[in-house]
Structure 1
Amino acid sequence: MSLLENIHRIIHDSMKVNKIPGAAFAVIKNNEVLLSEGFGRTTGEDWGTPICSNTLFRIASVSKLFTGTLMMMLVEKGMIDLDKPVQYYVPWFTTADPELSKLITVRMLLTHSSGLPTGDDVINHYDEAGLSQYMKNVVPTLPILFHPGTAYSYGNHGLNIAGFVAEQVTNKKFAVLMQEMLFHPLEMNQTTYNPLKAMTHPLALPHDKDGNGTLTISPQFYDTVASYPSYFAFSSIQDLSRFAMMHLQEGLYENSQIVSLSSIQEMRKQQIKWYTTTHAGCGITFFRETKGGIERFWHYGQYSNQYSSQFILVPEKGIAVIALANGENIFQAGYEIVDELLKDEVHEEVTPDVSSLAEPDWASIEGTYLHSYYGLIEVYSHTGKVFMKHNEQSFELNRFNRDTYIAKDDNENTAFTLGIPVYSPEQTVKCIVINSKACPEFVQNYQADPKDWKDWVGTYSDGRDTYEVMIQGDTLMINDPQNHMELVGSAIAKNWFLTKEYGLVSFISVKGIVNIEFDFAWRFPKQNSAVLV
């Protein structure tokens, strides 16, 4: 098979497996476009039109790369210093932890090292003041999960706050600023945050999926201004190819220096480690790793099951792969295409020699840590070996390099990576990194008492999804009708419950209204009887 035939096979296989109605791919090699093509149709309905290179998709978290690029352009103009605290630009900025809020810098926002939780879209309708309202009403309720600047934990809140900083220093709305500084100079004439404008172009429509996997066109197109900086842009492979070429050519586009070389280099530089076997980490909004001796920079996106995206750069080879779809998991095809492009150029990785390295002070590391999806993880030593325990199963930890350990399952596959960040004396919370996510130490001293949970009982909904919370005997139960599941909550604090299916579920008051929150991210407000009627 030729290279293009293999690429087409990868695309068609991914669309078939993931039941994707339509997708678009661009492949650049040696700084020249090798492929720019649409596949499938804008909807699974008979009247859907063929996808083409200028079909718009919601690109989800690939939007973060726009925000990171914009912020570096503002750095070049002297309007932002990455290492200034956010409060330098927004004096009233605070989270639920006023003291740690003072330590959060712009760089931490852009590298997912601020300690903020994951976050989700917080308003499901258009509100021009949405980003400002979010800063005033939502951000002050957010916990800081670990000491800012010491570890990595992916999230949306950091980018949204960075977008607000950009608004403050320019006195312009984020979408207007992005259009003026980035989209217009790059001739990205279709790219927009406005669904109404997107509908004037060829547009791949979103679909909802029922419990049987059947797709139907979604009756609503949500617009959340507060999430524009993190994942709400619309774009096409035609426009994203221009953005990719600018990054591949060190900030140059059509003989114009859009972004400086130093800014491009700063975006690619590892700012915070993931503690993985591929030496991966995060730059300024770009993820980065070395695979087969070749550096890759990328970001992927997933918007519910409605859209997915992938944007990968391999600058030393002049390679870019861009994938967009109105369905799930298209980013996996992006990875496979890059592997196909590089299969004759990678070399075998050399396993680090760790025999001469001194062991860390495990006595200071042992303890119980909270991963918001996996739950509680215990690190302990026994008979001269070190283990981690998850769901009552223990895994021996084996050293991979100076600060990274791996735990293998019964089939000798890596089940977990465990990273040990450098501890700083001013740290208020000890943490480790499990599978690229910071996990703060957790001391459980709560004795479960169902009488504490009565305020959590009720129906929660954001207008799309609904959850019912009830107490059955000594157990808190959460009914998820969307996925036909009933979750059993194990209390680790008065308002924190671990579930097998969704990890941590918590309850939090926002402006006097109780919200249920999954994985420190998705919030759903409690409904009263009047609303339900």
Structure 2
Amino acid sequence: MTILVRCVAWLAAVALLIITTAGPAAADEHGNTPRLYDTMDTFVRDRMSNAGSPGAAYAIVDRDGIRHSGTFGSDGDGGAVSSETPFLWGSVAKPVTATLVMAMVSAGELRLDAPLTTYLPSFRTRDVERSAMITVRQLLDHTSGLPTSTRHTDRTAPHRRPADVVPELERESLVGAPGVTYRYSSTNYLLLAAVVEAVTGRPFPEVLRDRVLGPLDMRDAVTTAEQARATVPHGHRYVFGRPVPMATPFDPAGVGYGYLGGSVADLAAFARMNLGGGVEVVGPAQRAAMVAGDVPTGPDRSYGLGWRRWAIPGTDTPMVWHGGAVPGFWAQIILLPEHAVVLLANSYGPLHEPKLLNIGFGLAELSLGRQPPESPSTYTYPVVLGAMLAMVVILLGLIVHGVRLLIGRRPATPSRVRTGAVLAGWVLVLGGVLYGFGRILPTRSGVELYQLGLWAPDVAALVFATLIAAGVLLVLRVVIGLRALRR
């Protein structure tokens, strides 16, 4: 019993840790000084190094175009990052998709408050009545009630289309009533792409190019798997602290929610339009509606139609933004009242996201003549990996101890009550480990367990090692306990 108590303490402490962790230059009124830009370049270079990212590009944009840009490091194929290097943008695709949807609303092709079934008649979930209430607006602002899970996204079947998700969702349950609670879900934007295809009768990437990307001269935009293979250099994911090149799998149905890409110049062109400069894909009223942020997501934070709306810390200055990732890449776009910041990086890991976010937010602060925030802790990632490794070592040690008990000389048998209590303790503890790592951890991270290796292969390896070791130990302890009870 003493061994069990000690193990419970160790395992509980380690599991709790893992699951819960899951001065600028003065500028003129436009922030337009070489000294400020030098400061920004140095800031990005230092913070990218701190995040372990091999390459990055950023730009400061106003209504007239790119005010300043910087490129750093190398791409995953060994070439230097340039202003024309394409990256994948992850969820920064969402405001681009929202722009297309709003353009179609302006043209009378879609209605924001029309039920989704108006355009996708076969759409339903297990909650048939409630799912019939979901509207286009609720897909845009993530209040549809669909779950966060990635089980319907990040797939690579070559002929997959957005509408393929519709029959899959018949087996899904809503996690909230439509229009009531914000719950971020890429499935919302997968469905929006299906709506666009249903209304236009054309593939979503083609419509996006004709109505948004083309008019904005986003000439290096990536919208197909073929383009991605031909033009996008390898991204990087982190493996025990080192960025390792990877060929990012491309979801051909996912352009609307995350598998859109392009160069820093392309993203800058999109930012410029949203500031009111250049070609007007959607009008001022539509842009204002998109960034109004009508759905609360936290203190002084909200979500609009494809955009997050926060405030610069300590001020009333609005900051409309979106970040995004696919395996191997990170992107961020931040709209401020007079200018915008866009950032692209060719690495990503869930435990590195706070550092990557910090770079974009820091650039926004610098562009306003403020001090950037401190870089997040560098210890979270190694501490989590260390804790998970400790968990595996503990479980392996307990397996060795159990095997010795099983094949060694049998000690005096304790009372049946005590034996049963010890067995129940092992079942509860190890069952908790299996449930925590197999269910709670994926749920909290928003990634299905089988997809974890795409995003964080080192974490995935340790999670699966933990699950296997815990399963083996559970079987071993049950055999030992039952043998003792039979005596």
TM-score with structure 1 setting the length: 0.62
2:343 counterpart residue number:
323
How far, CA to CA, are the matches of 1:186 and 1:265 in structure 2?
A: 19
CA shift, 1:474, in A, is 2.6
CA shift, 1:123, in A, is 5.5
Aligned pairs for 1:22-171 (under 5 A) are: 22-29=55-62, 31-43=64-76, 48-120=78-150, 122=153, 124-137=155-168, 139-171=169-201
How far, CA to CA, are the matches of 1:96 and 1:265 in structure 2?
A: 35
Does the CA contact (< 8 Å) of 1:195 and 1:221 recur in 2? no
Aligned pairs for 1:497-508 (under 5 A) are: 499=440, 501-503=441-443
1:413 counterpart residue number:
none
**Paired residue type of 1:245:** R
**Paired residue type of 2:364:** V
**Paired residue type of 1:339:** E
Judging changes above 3 Å, is the alpha-carbon distance between structure 1 residues 29 and 177 closer, same or farther for their aligned structure 2 residues?
closer
For structure 2, the 5+ residue unaligned runs are: 1-24, 26-34, 373-423, 461-487
User: 291, 301, 304: which is aligned to 1:283?
Assistant: 304
How far, CA to CA, are the matches of 2:227 and 2:447 in structure 1?
A: 37
2:361 counterpart residue number:
335
Aligned pairs for 1:320-399 (under 5 A) are: 320-328=340-348, 329=353, 330-343=356-369
2:47 counterpart residue number:
14
1:388 counterpart residue number:
none
Tell me the secondary structure at the aligned position of residue 75 of structure 2: coil
User: 296, 301, 311: which is aligned to 2:324?
Assistant: 301
Does the CA contact (< 8 Å) of 1:298 and 1:313 recur in 2? yes
Does the CA contact (< 8 Å) of 2:145 and 2:176 recur in 1? yes
1:205 counterpart residue number:
234
Does the CA contact (< 8 Å) of 2:59 and 2:341 recur in 1? yes
Judging changes above 3 Å, is the alpha-carbon distance between structure 1 residues 53 and 185 closer, same or farther for their aligned structure 2 residues?
same
For structure 1, the 5+ residue unaligned runs are: 347-470, 479-486, 509-514, 525-533
CA shift, 1:497, in A, is 7.2
User: 247, 254, 274: which is aligned to 2:274?
Assistant: 247
Larger Rg computed on CA atoms = 2
CA shift, 1:125, in A, is 2.1
Does the CA contact (< 8 Å) of 1:31 and 1:319 recur in 2? no
**Paired residue type of 1:327:** S
How far, CA to CA, are the matches of 1:110 and 1:177 in structure 2?
A: 18
Percentage identity across aligned positions? 24
Does the CA contact (< 8 Å) of 2:92 and 2:332 recur in 1? yes
Name the one with the larger strand percent.
Answer: 1
Does the CA contact (< 8 Å) of 2:219 and 2:266 recur in 1? yes
1:180 counterpart residue number:
210
How far, CA to CA, are the matches of 2:149 and 2:427 in structure 1?
A: 30
**Paired residue type of 1:196:** E
CA shift, 1:266, in A, is 1.1
How far, CA to CA, are the matches of 1:506 and 1:204 in structure 2?
A: 26
The runs of at least 4 consecutive aligned structure 1 residues that moved more than 4 Å come to: 29-32, 475-478, 501-508, 515-518
CA shift, 1:163, in A, is 1.0
Does the CA contact (< 8 Å) of 2:63 and 2:272 recur in 1? no
How far, CA to CA, are the matches of 2:446 and 2:182 in structure 1?
A: 21
**Structure showing greater relative contact order (alpha-carbon pairs closer than 8 Å, 6 or more residues apart):** 2
Q: Which whole-Å deviations, capped at 9, do the CAs of 1:472-498 have from their partners, x for residues lacking one?
A: 9635969xxxxxxxx81458xxxx976
Judging changes above 3 Å, is the alpha-carbon distance between structure 1 residues 198 and 100 closer, same or farther for their aligned structure 2 residues?
same
Q: Which whole-Å deviations, capped at 9, do the CAs of 1:21-42 have from their partners, x for residues lacking one?
A: 1111011257552322210001
For these two proteins, the number of residue pairs brought into alignment is 363
Does the CA contact (< 8 Å) of 1:497 and 1:504 recur in 2? no
Does the CA contact (< 8 Å) of 1:68 and 1:284 recur in 2? yes
**Paired residue type of 2:241:** G
Judging changes above 3 Å, is the alpha-carbon distance between structure 1 residues 92 and 237 closer, same or farther for their aligned structure 2 residues?
same
1:488 counterpart residue number:
433
Does the CA contact (< 8 Å) of 2:98 and 2:140 recur in 1? yes
Q: Which whole-Å deviations, capped at 9, do the CAs of 1:102-129 have from their partners, x for residues lacking one?
A: 1110000000111111132636324334
2:34 equivalent to 1:5: no
1:217 counterpart residue number:
245
Name the one with the larger helix percent.
Answer: 2
Q: Which whole-Å deviations, capped at 9, do the CAs of 1:452-487 have from their partners, x for residues lacking one?
A: xxxxxxxxxxxxxxxxxxx99635969xxxxxxxx8
How far, CA to CA, are the matches of 1:242 and 1:507 in structure 2?
A: 31
